[in-house]
Structure 1
Amino acid sequence: MNTDAAQDAVVASVAALAPLFAASFRDPWWLIGSTAMHLSGETDIVPGDIDVLTSERDVDAFVARHGDLLQREHQPADDARFRSRFARLRFSPLPVELMGGLQVWRDGTWTPVRVESTLVVDCQGHAVQVPTLAEQLRLFEWFGRAKDLDKARRLRDRIHAGDLHVA
């Protein structure tokens, strides 16, 4: 998939999902991971799914409305490092992974994931929240997996090159 087609698919997917999230979610939520990077200008990253950080009750509410799309057989990777109310749903073209009350095992304790600074991105008329670039860097480094550290490096390189601007 070329960069323009990937951008179109990501934006169209998020735009289609935003009203569904709005109808189910009552608590703050953010797109995180590769989707957040992509929507923040790092379009060389092509997300394989849409990661959503929200509350446990919002995951439950969304699954109650869209349970027919639930991929019950899917188990998240790194469950020794991460825990949450997790659900993966089959949406086209990108599946959605909901993480309610996400926590990370760090220094011998479970620590809640918090997004401290937010950027609002327009997706075909729908305002969605992603962590700021600085916050994405912090989260990727904090998550600490090889793939997260690689994403942090890519963001840092693009910021230092002047291709992306930290707000």
Structure 2
Amino acid sequence: MTLHSLSSALHEVIAASVPLLQRHCCDPWVVIGSAACALAGACVDVADLDVLASTADAERLIALWPSRRDTTYAPAGADRFRSHFARFLFPGMPVEVMGDLQLHGAHAWQAVQVNDVVHVQVADIAVPIPSRCEQIRILESFGRPKDRARAELLRAL
């Protein structure tokens, strides 16, 4: 994948936010969703940078970035997803932090876990994302049409 295939907005938000995440998060974290798909080489539209983190790190970021926090935004899908959520405004696009994200499966809430992380270099910044196979597994577990479409794009790479 060539880095110039990424949008300038994605480059901008990575440059502005990832070094801060690396500095302030104490637990492992990973970029998921459309941004991770784009970083893996899929041609997808990216509207925000989704970060899967611990609840403790989500709380830490909320305390560190009160002026960046978008308190008016409410994520969709509360029947399927729950987390310690915060949306922050950064150059390029928002950063959405999901502390201990859970997915409501067939019978109960289950933690969304990433079992295989790779790092993608964007302008000398190492960005952790799930491996392609892990992204496909996670997206398919989400079950929404947009997630299934992203999984197919990743599968085609």
User: 2:6, 2:39 within 8 Å by CA — same for their partners in 1?
Assistant: no
Q: CA deviation at 1:104?
A: 0.4
Letter matched to residue 16 of structure 2? A
Alpha-carbon distance in 1 for matches of 2:107, 2:133: 26
TM-score under structure 1 length normalisation: 0.88
User: 1:82, 1:102 within 8 Å by CA — same for their partners in 2?
Assistant: yes
Identity rate, percent: 37
User: 2:12, 2:92 within 8 Å by CA — same for their partners in 1?
Assistant: no
3-state secondary structure, aligned to 1:69 = coil
Partner of 2:107: 108
Q: What pairs with 1:124-163 in structure 2 (closer than 5 Å)?
A: 124-156=123-155, 158-159=156-157
Letter matched to residue 143 of structure 2? G
Q: What pairs with 1:1-167 in structure 2 (closer than 5 Å)?
A: 4=4, 6-42=6-42, 44-156=43-155, 158-159=156-157
Count of residues paired in the alignment:
155
Gaps of 5+ in 2: none
4+ runs of 1 displaced by more than 3 Å? 3-6
CA gap 1:153/1:5 in 2 versus in 1, 3 angstroms: closer
Alpha-carbon distance in 1 for matches of 2:41, 2:94: 21
Alpha-carbon distance in 2 for matches of 1:125, 1:155: 24
For CA contacts below 8 A with separation 6 or more, give which structure has more relative contact order: 2
